[in-house]
A and B are shown apart, each in its own frame.
Chain A
């Protein structure tokens, strides 16, 4: 039963991806990206990664769809339909995809307790969290306390990305274009 659900979810993901490639309307493709993200969120729920599913649903399906649509509004982009067949990109994509699938056969199973990633610091966090931090959600205690430096770095990255977008699109764009005109 679980296998059927997994298979159906992954097949659905492929269907959305093919749909995005085939759609000629950029607006439709942007909306379909949102559906794709929502679908990814479902898969994360099945994988018991509820925190990630939360993020994916809010960022992927919500805000990034709005931002893609705003970009379409800014650029007024029209898709240029080309009918030439590009064999080389198809070949490269096929080879890389096959290599990735081949490599995935060597990976440990999802959630395997003896996987190297689960043997390094994970047992220490799982055993220590109850006594040292004593909050039920271990994800939060790892993110916020054990890995506090990493999270500080992530927040700084988000802040920096916001600054970057402001520099490109923000209120200074008028001044810069005037300078370029001279």
Chain B
């Protein structure tokens, strides 16, 4: 992708807008269409677009794989943690009404937090899926060393690992 100047310029313009739009979908989900899942997918797509244009290695410097893996768990923990907090405050699991003194405001806070959890998990699972798929080929190529790419065509059945000996 070194020479695709149009793609690079357009991507640079679009990526901030995509990420901003994801945040809008995330926090406006109570009032319009959208919510954590959609926002997470859009947010992840922004990073995937970056990786497609500027390369996997550059993206891994922006957000490291271990950060991505950690955050995909953190979203689930945030969601489940809201449930545990509502248990401690004397309600049922995931009953947001007890989170604040006013039940309706508690519901608002609870929904915002769990949607944030959904968004974080979905966004970073999407990025880690992309890392896994895109990085797999690089590991394979490194393993082959000097052997040429036509090996890949041979190993096109389900198990590329077992074949190459």
- What is A's interface to B at a CB cutoff of 8 Å? 50-51, 53-55, 58-59, 62-63, 66-67, 70-71, 73-78, 132-137, 139-141, 143-145, 148-149, 151-152, 154-156, 158-159, 161-162, 165-166, 168-171, 173-174, 176-177, 180-181
Contacts and interface: CB of A to CB of B under 8 A. Distances in A.
The 10 nearest A-B residue pairs measured at CB: A162-B125, A70-B133, A50-B33, A177-B161, A58-B41, A148-B94, A76-B152, A135-B30, A169-B132, A144-B111
Given A76-B156, A158-B125, A140 B132 contact: no
30 contacts: A58-B38, A58-B45, A63-B129, A66-B48, A66-B52, A66-B130, A67-B129, A70-B137, A133-B108, A133-B111, A136-B32, A139-B35, A140-B30, A144-B36, A145-B111, A148-B96, A151-B79, A152-B80, A158-B121, A159-B125, A165-B132, A165-B133, A169-B132, A169-B133, A170-B132, A170-B135, A171-B65, A173-B136, A173-B139, A181-B165
Contacts of A180: 161-162
Interface of B: 25, 29-38, 41-42, 44-45, 48, 52, 65, 69, 72-73, 75-76, 79-80, 83, 93-94, 96-97, 103-104, 107-108, 110-111, 114-115, 117-118, 121-122, 125-126, 128-130, 132-137, 139-140, 143, 149, 152-153, 155-156, 160-162, 165
Contact of B121 (A132, A155, A181): A155
A114 B44 CA distance: 40
Contact of B31 (A51, A136, A143): A136
A171 B128 CA distance: 11
